[in-house]
Amino acid sequence: MRVVAAPDKFRGTGSAQQVAGAIARAVSALGGSADMVPMADGGEGTLDVLGGPNRSTIVTGPLGDPVEAQWRLEGRNAVIEMARASGLDLVGGRAGNSPLDATTAGTGELILTAVEKGARRVIVGLGGSATTDGGLGALEAMGSLARFRGIELLVACDVRTIFVEAAEVFAPQKGASLAQVAMLSGRLERLAQFYAEEHGLDVRDLPRSGAAGGLAGGLAAVGAQLIDGVYLVAEEVGLDEVVVGADLVVTGEGRLDSTSFEGKVVGGVANHADAAGVPLLVVAGQVAPNVVGHVDCISLVEEFGEERATTDTLTCVEEAVKSNLGFRWLG
């Protein structure tokens, strides 16, 4: 029995690495082997999955205060997670945010620093942003675009929202009132027109361009490639090669719902497993009713109750996977 453990993080209760470890322990207890391939989709956790930070830079935080942002540089390859420089958690969540003022300047400063330190290929993971500035702060911080000629800028997106809908879809989660959402939407419309005139790319209806409050669109306007983050990460960690010949792939996340199959880890891993003809099991903290029956899944809340599922998540994952695999292979 060989199992591939390829989960996302369980937000607030377990990193992707920790969850993969819990799955592996369950497999080992039954006498099988597990290949751990922790996954991410461009949001928080992407940097850790792609090797972890080995650099730290002081940059402008989302509301202007300096923050220490960790990132990775290995040879000529850099990995940046925008949440580390421009994330909502840095301002204490939506209650501490100022949606009209939040800026991606710090993310632009990290991109510039990476290139100045010798990076020729830069992966920018989007997700967890405090911002809806359409990436303007980042582009201003990056300065002259001449220095980015020949630089491969890959933007790992965890949503497919278009640029002009970024405020309506995400700004309320960042503390914006209805009036502020309207103001931010108007600002994005004007910014899209500016990008078209200045850089020759109309980002208004570009898939994924609304990620991180439009940061994806801003970077696309200056030549970045927007990619579904889960597929970029899968390629970086060699998921396809590991899945081939496995008996089962186990993935998971904190909440499984219909959006889990729209550019997120679970949907991406499911596609890789299906392509290889390998069965899939999904473990989630909670499972929405509309996906029950459509995928083989385990709800930790259903199995163990909400309190234990949220306070002892990793043990619950281990026990749930062990029970499921024991039924599959030991009867």
Contact predicate 324/280, CB 8 Å:
no
Give the pLDDT confidence score for residue 331 in this predicted structure. Answer: 54
> Measured between alpha carbons, how far is 268 from 189 in angstroms, rounded to an integer?
31
Distances (CA, A) of 52 to 49, 71, 150, 275: 7, 8, 25, 29
> 3-class DSSP state for residue 230?
helix
The domain defined by 46-230 folds into: Glycerate kinase, domain 2 (3.90.1510)
Report the percentage of the chain scoring pLDDT > 90: 91
Write out pLDDT tens, residues 130-183: 999 999 999 999 999 999 999 999 999 989 999 999 999 999 999 999 999 999
Write out pLDDT tens, residues 26-35: 999 999 999 9
Task: Give yes or no for residue 327 having a pLDDT over 80.
Answer: no
Query: Which among 54, 67, 191 has a CA at the least distance from the CA of 132?
Result: 191
Give the pLDDT confidence score for residue 12 in this predicted structure. Answer: 85
**Two tokens at 294?**
């459509």
Contact predicate 145/219, CB 8 Å:
no
> Measured between alpha carbons, how far is 260 from 277 in angstroms, rounded to an integer?
20
Distance of CA 204 to the CA centre of its chain: 22
Amino acid letter, 250: V
Global pTM reads 0.91
Element (H, E) at 140: helix 136-142
Task: Give yes or no for residue 320 having a pLDDT over 70.
Answer: yes
Long-range contacts formed by 88-91: CB under 8 A, 24+ apart: 88/62, 88/128, 88/129, 88/130, 88/173, 88/174, 89/128, 90/61, 90/62, 90/130, 91/61, 91/62, 91/63, 91/130
The domain defined by 2-37+238-330 folds into: Rossmann fold (3.40.50)
Count how many Cα atoms sit within 13 Å of the Cα of residue 315 in the half-sphere of its side chain: 7
**Same fold: 2-37+238-330 with 46-230:** no
Enumerate the domain spans of the chain: 2-37+238-330, 46-230
> Measured between alpha carbons, how far is 212 from 107 in angstroms, rounded to an integer?
11
Region 23-45: what's the mean pLDDT? 94
Count how many Cα atoms sit within 13 Å of the Cα of residue 248 in the half-sphere of its side chain: 24
Residue written as tokens 């960790």? 70
pLDDT-derived band at 290 (thresholds 50, 70, 90) equals confident
Q: Which residues does residue 106 pair with via DSSP β-bridges, in sequence order?
A: none
Task: Give yes or no for residue 47 having a pLDDT over 90.
Answer: yes
Task: Give yes or no for residue 202 having a pLDDT over 60.
Answer: yes
Q: Which residues does residue 10 pair with via DSSP β-bridges, in sequence order?
A: 14
Report the percentage of the chain scoring pLDDT > 70: 99
